[in-house]
Amino acid sequence: MRIELVRRPEMSRTMMLVSPLIAVGLTVLFAAIVFALQGHDPLTGIFYFFIEPLMSSWSLEQLVIKATPLIIIGLGLSVCYLSNNWNIGAEGQLTIGAITGSILPILYPEFVSPIVAPLMILMAAAGGAAYGLVPAVLKTRFGTNEILTSLMLVYVSTLFLDWVVRGPWKSPQAFGFPITVDFNESAVLGSFPVGPLYLNASAFIALALVVVLAVVMRSTLKGFEIRVLGQSPRAGAFAGFSARRMTSFAFAFSGALAGVAGLMVVMTEIQKLQPVISPGYGFTAIIVAFLGRLNPIGILIAGLVIALSYLGGEAIQTSMQMSSKVATVLQGMLLFFVLACDTLILYRIRLVSTRSTQEQARA
Amino acid sequence: MKKILLLAGTALALAAGTMTASAQEKLKACWVYVGPIGDFGYSYQHDQGRLQVEKELGDKVETAYLENVSEGPDAERAIERFAREGCKIVFTTSFGFMDPTIKVAKKYPDVKFEHATGFKKADNVAIYNARFYEGRYVIGQIAAKESKAGLAGYIVSFPIPEVVMGINAFMLGAQSVNPDFKVKIVWVNTWFDPGKEADAAKALFDQGADIIVQHTDSTAPLQIAEERGLKGFGQSSDMIKFAPKAQMTSIVDDWGPYYVKRVQAMLDGTWSSTDTWEGMKEGAVVLPPFANMSDETKKLAEETYAKIKSGEFHPFTGPIFDQAGAEKYPAGAVVPDGDLLGMLWYVKGVDDKLPQ
């Protein structure tokens, strides 16, 4: 007996829309089982993991803060993945962007002006894009595998950050500890009230990017070019599109967004540089991009869902004394169910008995 | 269907409501850990301290913890979550939690915070640390006595004063036994990564070291020593279970007495923002039974341990020379605490350059 996946001739549109809901439903169900196995009340567990983080304005603000960098990076990565370029190194582009973006407040701390923040964001985008171009050039010039090079460059960048905050950029007031000077007030992004919530500017930038990218992908030639080159480079070539130029564009674009996301985490939350500035946002954003099916609106939702799973993970730890590993397991299950449901939209399962395969072989 | 959902919702809200109601009588004390409590090293020891608070103060307190909290942007949220969930005192146990702790403390003036291994205080933020270097001096003596090669391998995390101070104390101890003792240093840039730590241990053994010292938190280096039939020292907790033939002793952090004292002060209403640096004398640094060494070494180690404990001897007593051979502290002078806490230079005989 063997299980085969057979491609469906046609995808069901309803199932396309319903499948994420089924996946979330299955995750909730299996989460309840995990909670019960851990000896906790499943209903309380589900409440703390999925609902409690949505109940106070503080946790909603935290949800947005956590989701923002994931969404911005995920949007950039979606362009890469749609055009068949595999950028795994967003974490590195984030790190370099945060460093280049921090040049002004660290080297010129007395430069206080409203143009500082926009300049910083531009410099972060430039830094992230330049760092993203490294694996792109290696790919187009020398045919290296961009998955490998972009990933390895992550380690280079985090070690560079480590060096820069311990060495040349170390604050003289830090007693030798690895931190830079605090950013001045013009290098920090403030919060604005939106109804009961206080949200900082990065959240609005993320939202604007979602809208812009949704329009670009749906109704511009660039969006068409990205998709055509991703699905069939040959067809793209007939249309006069260059796959090499697209590789550079996609890497530079996703690198720029990752750099901006990294800098904005620094500008809103840390307000200086230190050895650790990201809890792996660049890697988590890969999951967000695929969870959102490489669609801007999908990525917006996926970023919020993943952020919720982090907050919920903390809530079950503090309220129910469950291990942080349980949250990791639940995140894994969510991803598994989403991908599994998606697979079943594209394919159907056929059971093949061994006898019939033998017969086929004989025939 | 809607009704069922509504019912379920109310049930959940009720369940949550009763949970918080019963908690209000007790004092809530909370801990934020940088590693998993299962690291059997640094975070494990802090959690042992938390458990001691639960045991000794019983039903007067309620505790909670968050483990594996990244020192980046997540730290502030973790600390603030505790302040919001009714914790009256929050212990943040890693250096990287310093600024987030200060930031959250400003927002919640009624909550008390305690930050380990940092240097920023506030009206509602106390700081605490342990004099780990006292243990490092003793293991330096043991290493110099027991090493046949005259060379120890030393695995270190980050070039911060805490760690540099430890290397220096180790070397001063070793040189008190063998002035020509050598040490090879590998920086792994992590507090906890069993894979990296194991690789570093293997590399150091391959280069001729026969004793391994670690300022990282996993049991991996000791386990490599055990495999190779060589010796080493545990870190943060007693790791003898993982290396019964290799561990000579360990530098155990016992945070329990301090945590009990501080939470008790909260119950009594006598808490104040203090700066605490306790060592062997107060029982904050403990060396488990000396094992896997000659009787002679054991005798020396026990003597030194007793001398530091009684306050008769300070490991950083001059003459102390820097790497270039210049005298930094004259004979008989004790290095002041302020200098120790900012120590970013090596003593004579350390063959390494501080990563700059």
Q: Does A44 sit within 8 Å of B16, measured CB to CB?
A: yes
Predicted confidence (pLDDT) per residue in A167-222, tens digit: 899 888 776 678 899 999 899 988 888 878 888 889 999 999 999 999 999 889 99
pTM of the model: 0.81
d(CA A37, CA A34): 5
Q: Does A48 sit within 8 Å of B16, measured CB to CB?
A: yes
d(CA B339, CA B165): 10
**CA distance to partner chain A, nearest, from residue B28 (Å):** 11
**CA distance to partner chain B, nearest, from residue A118 (Å):** 22
pLDDT at B48: 95
> Under CATH, which number does the domain A69-318 receive?
1.10.3470
Residue A194, C-beta contacts closer than 8 angstroms, at least 6 positions apart: none
Domain with CATH 1.10.3470 in chain A: 69-318
The ranges of chain B with pLDDT < 70 are 1-24, 355-356
pLDDT at A2: 83
pLDDT at B298: 95
Hey, is B69 helix, strand or coil? coil
Using CB atoms within 10 A of its CB, is residue B69 exposed (0-12), middle (13-18) or buried (19+)? buried
Predicted confidence (pLDDT) per residue in A113-149, tens digit: 999 999 999 999 999 999 999 999 999 999 999 999 9
**CA distance to partner chain B, nearest, from residue A278 (Å):** 6
Residues of A in contact with B344 (CB under 8 A): 176
- What amino acid is encoded at A288 in this protein? V
- For chain B, the structural domain boundaries read 22-130, 132-252+286-341
Assigned CATH class of B22-130: alpha beta
> B1 CB near a chain A CB, below 8 Å?
no
DSSP-assigned states of every residue in B195-219: HHHHHHHHHHHHTT--EEEEESS-S
Q: Checking phi first, is residue A8 left (phi over 0); if not, alpha (psi -120 to 50) or beta? A: beta
> Under CATH, which number does the domain B132-252+286-341 receive?
3.40.50.2300
Residue of B nearest to A163 (CA): B356
Give the relative orientation of helices A221-231 and A243-265 as an angle to the nearest 10 degrees: 110
Helix (H) or strand (E) holding B116: strand B112-116
Using CB atoms within 10 A of its CB, is residue A30 exposed (0-12), middle (13-18) or buried (19+)? middle
Domains B22-130 and B132-252+286-341 in one fold = yes
Query: Cα A37 vs. chain centroid, distance in angstroms?
Result: 31
Residue of B nearest to A278 (CA): B72
- Residues of chain A with a CB closer than 8 angstroms to some CB in chain B: 41, 43-44, 46-48, 51-52, 56, 58, 62, 65-66, 159, 162-163, 166-167, 175-179, 265, 269-270, 272, 274-280, 310-311, 314-315, 317-319, 321, 323-325
